[in-house]
């Protein structure tokens, strides 16, 4: 029986020192007050040019990131690979707004594609459209506003960058995830993702769109996307997540007086997520999907579906994925049981990936039970090693 309680497997790649460091990091993150104050102090320290980069890199950066460059990620790629876990290199620099930065992000993403051709340990690549595009342009496109001539030219450059990434992935035969973002730009992202899938998914699934199942409309949209792929004869690539912008989505809906696109409660999100898993499994011949989730029940449910339907665990149309530094008890035990598993491995200069790291700290603080679960497993493994 699949179990996520085997801590010997879950922390097999961690030394005692690593385990102790993770313990203290999650202990600190268990306090909402400490995380909130700490985040503000970090930004103040960086603005004052205080030498804290080394401290960040040795602690929270080490827990959640692979390195500052692709080359620095090699050790993590190899370490994960020894346990049968793939690496999804995620260039996590964000918040840029100029063309040079967008070009640099596209180039760096293509470099991750090239890196994947040198090892069997990188099953996917990934990028955010806002890494290669100005948010304002995407917002206008998503709401069907007329673009100025200058914006039309800008959008053509955006499309060209995305196509260059997907074309590189197609030539390298490595799938690429297009991450989901805020609902008020997602229509623009969906349109581009559909076109990329129609171009590059004729023989195998290369391009994957991301479906945020905490949205009320995404289960229906998944089915609509599948029907479009079926009619136009291409594989649907789907990354299934719960979602990452809940508070922002609800606050914006309240501020602008429209119905929130987010489910009212977690149970509704869980139901839609598991329904999406079942839909993908029922159409596994023409849908390739990745269950990117830290939810134990959903992972168990998918494993159960795979067994019930008599599908090979090694089927390349099915992957599990979690973030580096989190839910190792899920990732390592799934891999040990023979399932396809990958870890998101963010990388980039410490100062540039700070927004990502702060979100991870906040997520572990706010998500009910997340930090407590991580801590309890670490404590259990520390006790086991002392015997």
What backbone torsions phi and psi does residue 91 show, to the nearest 5 degrees?
Answer: -70, 105
**pLDDT one digit per residue (tens) for the chain, 387 residues:** 789 999 999 999 999 999 999 998 888 877 776 667 766 777 677 677 777 788 888 888 999 999 999 999 999 999 999 999 999 999 988 778 899 999 999 999 999 999 999 999 999 999 999 999 999 999 999 999 999 999 999 999 999 999 999 999 999 999 999 999 999 999 999 999 999 999 999 999 999 999 999 999 999 999 999 999 999 999 999 999 999 888 899 999 999 999 999 999 999 999 999 999 999 999 999 999 999 999 999 999 999 999 999 999 999 999 999 999 999 999 999 999 999 999 999 999 988 888 777 776 666 555 555 678 889 999 999 999 998
Predicted local confidence at residue 246, as pLDDT: 87
Predicted local confidence at residue 74, as pLDDT: 97
DSSP H or E segment with residue 359: helix 354-366
Predicted local confidence at residue 26, as pLDDT: 85
Instruction: Say what the alpha-carbon torsion angle 315, 321, 325, 328 is, to the nearest 10 degrees.
Output: -50
Predicted local confidence at residue 364, as pLDDT: 58
Predicted local confidence at residue 356, as pLDDT: 79
Write down the pTM of the prediction: 0.94
Cα distances (Å, whole numbers) of residue 344 to 57, 177, 325: 18, 11, 9
CATH label, 67-347, candidates 3.30.470.30, 3.40.190.10, 3.40.50.720, 3.20.20.220:
3.20.20.220
Cβ atoms 7, 330 nearer than 8 A:
no
Q: Percent helix, strand, coil in the chain (nearest 5)?
A: 60, 10, 30
Cβ atoms 362, 81 nearer than 8 A:
no
3-state class (DSSP) for residue 212: strand
Predicted local confidence at residue 134, as pLDDT: 96
Domain with CATH 3.20.20.220 in the chain: 67-347
DSSP H or E segment with residue 362: helix 354-366
What is the distance between the terminal CA atoms of the chain, rounded to a whole angstrom? 26
Residue 18 to residue 362: CA distance in whole angstroms: 21
């Amino acid at each position: 029986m699949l179990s996520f309680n085997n801590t010997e497997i879950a922390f097999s790649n961690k030394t005692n020192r690593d385990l102790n460091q993770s313990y203290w990091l999650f202990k600190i993150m268990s306090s909402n007050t400490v995380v909130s104050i700490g985040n503000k102090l970090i930004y103040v320290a960086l603005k004052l040019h205080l030498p804290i980069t080394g401290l960040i890199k040795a602690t929270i950066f080490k827990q959640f990131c692979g390195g500052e460059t692709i080359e620095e990620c090699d050790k993590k790629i190899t370490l994960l690979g020894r346990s049968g876990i793939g690496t999804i290199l995620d260039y996590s620099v964000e918040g840029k707004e100029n063309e040079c930065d967008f070009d640099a992000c596209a180039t760096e993403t293509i470099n991750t594609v090239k890196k994947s051709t040198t090892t069997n340990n990188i099953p996917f690549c990934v990028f955010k459209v806002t890494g290669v595009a100005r948010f304002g342009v995407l917002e206008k496109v998503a709401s069907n506003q007329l673009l100025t001539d200058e914006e039309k030219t800008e959008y053509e450059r955006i499309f060209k960058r995305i196509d260059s990434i997907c074309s590189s992935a197609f030539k390298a035969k490595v799938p690429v995830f297009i991450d989901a973002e805020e609902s008020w730009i997602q229509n623009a992202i969906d349109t581009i993702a559909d076109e990329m899938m129609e171009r590059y998914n004729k023989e195998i699934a290369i391009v994957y769109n991301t479906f945020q199942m905490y949205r009320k409309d995404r289960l229906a949209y998944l089915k609509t996307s599948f029907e479009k792929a079926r009619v136009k004869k291409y594989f649907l690539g789907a990354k299934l997540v719960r979602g990452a912008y809940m508070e922002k989505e609800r606050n914006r809906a309240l501020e602008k007086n429209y119905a929130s696109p987010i489910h009212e409660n977690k149970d509704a999100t869980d139901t839609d997520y598991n329904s999406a898993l079942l839909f993908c499994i029922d159409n596994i011949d023409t849908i390739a999907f990745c269950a990117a989730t830290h939810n134990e029940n959903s992972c168990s449910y998918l494993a159960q579906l795979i067994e019930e339907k008599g599908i090979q665990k090694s089927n390349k149309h099915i992957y599990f994925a979690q973030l580096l530094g989190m839910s190792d008890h899920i990732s390592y035990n799934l891999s040990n049981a023979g399932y396809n598993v990958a870890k998101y491995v963010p990388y980039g200069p410490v100062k540039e990936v700070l927004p990502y790291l702060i979100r991870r700290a906040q997520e572990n603080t706010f998500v009910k039970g997340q930090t407590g679960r991580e801590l309890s497993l670490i404590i259990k493994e520390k006790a086991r090693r002392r015997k």
